[in-house]
Amino acid sequence: MKLVSTLLATSIAAFGSSQVMAYEAGDIMVKAGVINVAPKNDNASITGVGKVQVKDDTQLGLTGTYMVTPQIGIEVLAATPFKHKIELDNGSTSTIGTTKHLPPTVSAQYYPMDPSSAIQPYVGAGLNMTFFFDEADAVKGNALGPLGDSFGLSVSAGINYDIDDKFLANVAIWYIDIDTELEGSNAALGKDYDVEIDPLVFMAGVGYKF
Ligand code: NI
């Protein structure tokens, strides 16, 4: 009987600890990891010049989530500045410049699983603000103007896995509508050109729950 009571005590303890892992209103999760911004293909077409492609970049991503209820969270996505190569395809491909940007994104999230589950998939929808800076011509004299700020919608999805009651592993993806303009202040452009970056953003990392 001692064995049975020990097993019983152990399983009660295990059950108790799984309850501790439950998501609760007021929980704060902070996650860090590698984050990649992969723009869609064919970001702009400049008359008489060619097609513009913004290349992908990987940085350190950070997210913070505040649980408003056990199943609804508010997430803020931040990262160290991304630096993208900009290529021009006019028959052959060449790098015409670079740009840096910060894409802070605020999302409302829904966690459909029972709050006591160790695996927590979620979906989100939100608002992105992208600020471009440090645009640089790779080749002097090329037609690269500044890029305007972008405000757009985002959708996201991810999975948290509770390693214990404090640490978790996370993978996440966002689709962000980032539409900017290559501004025609540069005489070689003559007018503004729409640039649709509309990237997929992937992040994989670890988190800590407060
Ligand atoms: Ni777009």
Query: Which is higher by pLDDT, 89 or 125?
Result: 125
Q: Are 79 and 103 contacting, i.e. CB atoms less than 8 angstroms apart?
A: yes
Whole-number Å distance between alpha carbons of 199 and 193: 18
Whole-number Å distance between alpha carbons of 46 and 186: 13
Domains annotated for the chain, with CATH where assigned, are 2-209 (2.40.160.20)
Query: Which is higher by pLDDT, 116 or 20?
Result: 116
This prediction's pTM: 0.84
pLDDT digits (tens, 9 = 90+) for 61-114: 999 999 999 999 999 999 999 999 989 888 889 888 889 999 999 999 999 999
Mean pLDDT of the chain: 87
Amino acid 140: pLDDT: 56
180 Cα: distance to centroid of ligand 1 (angstroms): 9
Is 90 exceeded by the pLDDT of residue 4? no
Is 60 exceeded by the pLDDT of residue 7? no
Element (H, E) at 202: strand 200-209
Local confidence band at 18 (pLDDT 50, 70, 90 cut-offs): very low
77 Cα: distance to centroid of ligand 1 (angstroms): 19
Tell which residue, 169, 159, 156, 170, has the closest CA to residue 199: 156
Rg (CA), the chain: 22
Tell which residue, 186, 157, 179, 155, has the closest CA to residue 170: 157
DSSP 132-164: EEEEEESSTT-----B--EEEEEEEEEEEEESS
152 Cα: distance to centroid of ligand 1 (angstroms): 8
Side chain identity, residue 20? V
Task: Return all residues near 11 (Cβ < 8 A) that are at least 6 apart.
Answer: none
71 Cα: distance to centroid of ligand 1 (angstroms): 30
Q: What are phi and psi of 21, to 5 degrees?
A: -75, -10
For residue 137 the two structure tokens come to 């011509």
54 Cα: distance to centroid of ligand 1 (angstroms): 14
pLDDT digits (tens, 9 = 90+) for 142-166: 556 678 899 999 999 999 999 998 9
Give the rounded percent of residues in the chain with a pLDDT score beyond 70: 83
Q: At which residue do the structure tokens 């007021």 appear? A: 26
43 Cα: distance to centroid of ligand 1 (angstroms): 9
Amino acid 150: pLDDT: 94
Is 70 exceeded by the pLDDT of residue 41? yes
186 Cα: distance to centroid of ligand 1 (angstroms): 23
Q: Using the 8-state DSSP alphabet, how is residue 81 labeled?
A: P
Query: Which is higher by pLDDT, 99 or 6?
Result: 99
129 Cα: distance to centroid of ligand 1 (angstroms): 13
CA angle 110, 112, 117 (to 5 degrees): 120
25 Cα: distance to centroid of ligand 1 (angstroms): 34
Amino acid 186: pLDDT: 58
Element (H, E) at 85: strand 82-89
Is 80 exceeded by the pLDDT of residue 59? yes
Whole-number Å distance between alpha carbons of 164 and 14: 11
Whole-number Å distance between alpha carbons of 79 and 59: 7
